[in-house]
Structure 1
Amino acid sequence: MSQQLLVITGVSGHVGFRVLVEALSRGYKVRAVIRNAAQAEQIKATEPIKPYLTQVEFTVVPDLLASGAFDGVLDGADGVVHVASPLPYPSDDYRRDLVDPAVNATVGVLKSATKVPTIKRVVITSSIAVLLTWEYVISSDTEKVFTANDAYTPTSLDGPFANAMDAYGVAKAGAHAATARFIEEEKPAFEVVNILPSMVTGKNELNRTPEDVGKGSNGSTLGILLNNKNEMPSLGATVHINDVARAHIDALNPAFKGNRNYLCSSGGLDGTTWEDAKEIVRRNFPKAVADGTLPLEGTQPSRPLRLDVSETEKTFGWKFANYEEQVKSLVEHYLELLGKN
C-alpha cells in the first residue's frame, strides 16, 4: 500500500485521529484535512504520529460546508476517508447545526471526488444511527436484529427532534441516504463504503487531561467507573476504537466489495451491558478501585440492541474486540493521565 495517497478528514477527532494512525502505520501517505493550522501541531506532537511525520501533510479547509471546499484538496489521491461530521450537542436549530453539516459535507466530498480520476474508493464514517429510528430507540422492542442493510431514509430533515441524539440519528441517516442518491444519480467511477460503528470506546491519544477522557462516547463508560449517575438508558452496543480504524482502512482494499455498508460492533447479538465495566475494572485494576481512584459509583442502564456483524467479520477476516478490551484501553489511559499508571 506504500506510495498510495489518502485524503482523510476529521483527523482532529477520536475516530479520525485513529484512522490517521492506522493508515500511516500501513504505509499510506496521507493528506490530512484540518480546519485550523494549530490542529496540525497538536497532532504531530502525539507519540503515535511521530514515527510517520514524513508520510503526512496537512491541508487547512476552514469551512467544510463551503461550495467546492474539497476541490483541489483531493487532487492525486487514490482514496478518501471522510470522517468529519458533527457530534450530538444541544442546539436551538438542529437542522442548521447537525443535519445540514453532516449531509452537505458528505455530498461535497463526493462531488469533489468525481473530479479526480485517480480516486478508486471513498470510505465514509456513518453510524448505527442510520439503522435506528428514534421511534425504535424509545420502543420496548429488544428482539429485532439489525444488519448493515437496514438503513432507513428519514421522511424529513426538519424535525421536530426529541433531543440531540434524535437529531444526530437523522443527520447520519440523511447523509447516508444522500450518498445512496449520489451513487444512483451520478454513477461515479469510484466505489463508496459506509462504516457503521456503534458507541466507539477506547483510548483517545488526543486527550491531554483526565477530564478530557470523559468527553464524547468514552464518557458513558468512565462515568460508570466514577460517580456519574445516569438514569436514561444508553444503547447497549460498543466497539473498540482500534477496530473502527482498522475497518476504515481495510474497506479501501478493492478485494472487498464496494458500494455497501459494514457494521462495526462487539458482543455479537448480546451487545454491551454498560454496568459490566465495574466488574471488568475490579478484575484488571484492583489497586485503583481500592484506593478510590475508580469508586465505581456511577450508573448507566443499557437499552438492549441486537446487531448482526457477522458479515463484517467474515469479510475482513477478524473479530471485534470485546467490551473488556475497550474498558482496559480507556482506563489505562485515564490512569496514565492521572499519573497513577
Structure 2
Amino acid sequence: MAGELVLVTGGTGFIGIKVIQLALKAGYSVRAAVRSQQKADAVLETPTVKSIKPGSRLTFTIVPDILAENAYDEAANGVRYIIHVASPVIKGEGFPPEQWESAIVEPAIKGTSSILEAAYKTEGIKRIVITSSEVAIIPWEEFIAKEVDTVFDDKYEIPFPAGPYSHIFEAYAASKVRALVFTKQFIKEKKPEWDVINIMPSFVIGENEMITDPKLVSDGTVSAAFAQVLGEDSGWGNVPSTSVHVADVARLHVEALNAKIEGNQSFLAVSEGERGTRWEEAVDIVNRNFPEAVKKGIFPNNGTARTKRTKVDASRTEKVFGFKFQSYEEQVKSVAKQYLSLVGAPEA
C-alpha cells in the first residue's frame, strides 16, 4: 500500500536506483541501505530523485558490510516490505578463478540469508522481493554454450550447481541458483508470516543515473548492446538472445509489492518473446535514430556483437503484471540518449 515503508538494498546499483525512484513515484516511503553517506548523497543527486523532492519519504541506513553477521537487522526494523537487490556483480576483469567461490557465490548466499533472517526477526513485514536472474533456472551449458530447442519459462528448475566452474559467469549463475534454492528452503522450513517474489531479469540494458562519466555508460551487461555502438567488442563472446529494459525490471520489483500478485512465485523479465534479442541490431537502431551522432563520429557504430539463440518465455510475467516489456530498440535508445547527454551532444 502506498505510503508504507520499503527497505531497498543495493539502491546505488543499476537496478536499485531505478527501484528507489519508481517506489517513490508510486507513493511509498523508502529506506535505502547504502554502504556510506557518500553513496546516499549520490542517490539524492540523481535528476529523477531531485525532481520527485521526496523529503522525509527517502531515508538512508548505512550498512558498510552487507556480509557481516546481522547486517540488515537494524535496517529492517519497522519496514513493511523489503526489495533486496544487492548482490555481487561482475565488472572489468572480475576475480581470479580461485576467488570465484568466496567472492561471488558465497556472498550472494550470505546476502540473501542475511536479509531473510533479518525479516524473520522483524514483526509486520508483508513481502520480500528479491532480484534473482534467468540463470537461476536455465542450465549453464544450455544458456551460454549449446543451442537447444527448449523454451525456458519460470517453472523450470535446475540442479544445485557445484564447482569448480569453467567461467566467472558460470560462478555468477551458480550464485543465483544457490540463492534461489536457499530462499525456497528457508520458506519451507521457517514458514514466515511474509512471502517472497523472485524477479529474474535477463541482460539488463538502459540508462543509469548513478553514472556521470560517459566512459562508464557501457558498463556491465549494458556493454553487450552498447560496446559495438562505441566501436568496440562487447567482450561477452556469443551472448544469449535475452535482454530487458532496466525500467521494466524496476517496475516489476515495485509492482510485485501489490498483494494482488500472489506471493512465493518467480517471474522472468525477458523482452522480445521467443525470437529474443539480436544484439548486433544495435548498430541499425543507432543509425536510424541518431544519424547525426553517427555522422559526427560520436557513435563510431562499427564494433562487433554476436548472438547465441536462447529461447525464454516471459509471457506469464507480462500477463500477470499487465504490461509488455519494452523492445530492444527502446533499450538501446535509452543508453544512447544518456550517452549523448553526458557528452553534451544533441539527441537528433
| TM-score, normalising length: structure 2 | 0.95
In structure 2, do the counterparts of structure 1 residues 47 and 25 end up closer, same or farther at CA, with 3 Å as the change threshold? Answer: same
**Residues 1-341 of structure 1 aligned to structure 2 (within 5 Å):** 1-50=1-50, 51-88=53-90, 89-91=94-96, 92-156=98-162, 159-229=163-233, 230=235, 232-341=237-346
Name the SS of the counterpart of 1:103 in structure 2.
helix
Q: CA–CA distance in 2 between the matches of 1:255 and 1:33? A: 27
Deviates more, 1:13-22 or 1:225-234: 225-234
Q: Could you tell me which runs of 5 or more consecutive residues in structure 2 were left unpaired when the two chains were aligned.
A: none
Q: Once structures 1 and 2 are overlaid, which stretch shifts more, 260-269 or 145-154?
A: 145-154
Q: Write the distance in 2 (CA, Å) between the matches of 1:93 and 1:31.
A: 32
Q: Which one-letter code corresponds to 1:49 in the other structure?
A: V
CA contact (8 A) 2:211 2:217 kept: yes
Cα distance in 2 for residues equivalent to 1:71 and 1:140: 43
TM-score w.r.t. length of structure 1: 0.97
CA distance in 1, matches of 2:106, 2:119: 20
Deviations 1:31-74 (A, max 9, x none): 10001111011111111111223311000011111111111211
CA 1:177–1:292 in structure 2 vs 1: closer, same or farther (change >3 Å)? same
RMSD between superposed Cα atoms in Å: 1.2
How far the C-alpha of 1:242 sits from its partner, in A, is: 0.5
The structural deviation recorded for 1:290 is 1.0
Instruction: Return 255-264 or 217-226, whichever deviates more.
Output: 217-226
- The answer to whether the Cα contact below 8 Å between 1:44 and 1:53 also exists between their aligned partners in 2 is no
Q: Which amino acid is the alignment partner of residue 290 of structure 1?
A: K
SS at match of 2:130: strand
* Distance in 2, Cα, partners of 1:278 & 1:80: 39
The 8 Å contact of residues 90 and 163 in structure 1, kept in 2 or not, is answered as no
* Contact 1:32–1:56 (CA under 8 A) maintained in structure 2: yes
Q: Which runs of 5+ in 1 are unaligned?
A: none
The CA distance in 2 between the partners of 1:101 and 1:231, in whole Å, is 23
Runs (4+) off by over 6 Å: none
Partner amino acid for 2:301? Answer: L
In terms of mean alpha carbon deviation, does 279-288 or 126-135 score higher? 126-135
Q: CA deviation at 1:138?
A: 4.2
Q: Give the number of aligned pairs.
A: 339
Q: Any idea what the Cα deviations from partners look like across 1:159-183, whole Å, max 9, x if unmatched?
A: 1111210100001111011001101
Whether the 8 Å CA contact 1:200–1:238 is kept in 2: the answer is yes
Residues in 2 aligned to 1:327 and 1:151: alpha-carbon distance in whole angstroms: 31
8 A Cα contact 1:201 1:218, kept in partner:
yes
Question: Percent identity among equivalent residues?
Answer: 38
